[in-house]
A and B are shown apart, each in its own frame.
Chain A
Amino acid sequence: AAGVIQSPRHLIKEKRETATLKCYPIPRHDTVYWYQQGPGQDPQFLISFYEKMQSDKGSIPDRFSAQQFSDYHSELNMSSLELGDSALYFCASSLEGHYYEQYFGPGTRLTVT
Chain B
Amino acid sequence: GIQVEQSPPDLILQEGANSTLRCNFSDSVNNLQWFHQNPWGQLINLFYIPSGTKQNGRLSATTVATERYSLLYISSSQTTDSGVYFCAGGEGTYKYIFGTGTRLKVLA
Contact = CB atoms under 8 A, between A and B. Distances in A.
A48 interface: yes
Contacts of A31: 94
B70 to A, nearest CB: 14
Of the four ranges (under 10, 10 to 19, 20 to 34, 35 or more), the interface on chain B belongs to: 20 to 34
Interface of A is mostly: strand
B33 interface: yes
Nearest to B98: A42
A48 B101 contact: no
A104 B43 contact: yes
Nearest to B6: A42
Interface of A: 31, 33, 42-45, 48, 50, 55-56, 58, 88, 90, 99-104, 106-107, 109
Given A50-B94, A106-B42, 10 more contacts: A33-B94, A33-B95, A42-B100, A45-B96, A55-B94, A100-B30, A100-B31, A106-B41, A107-B41, A107-B42
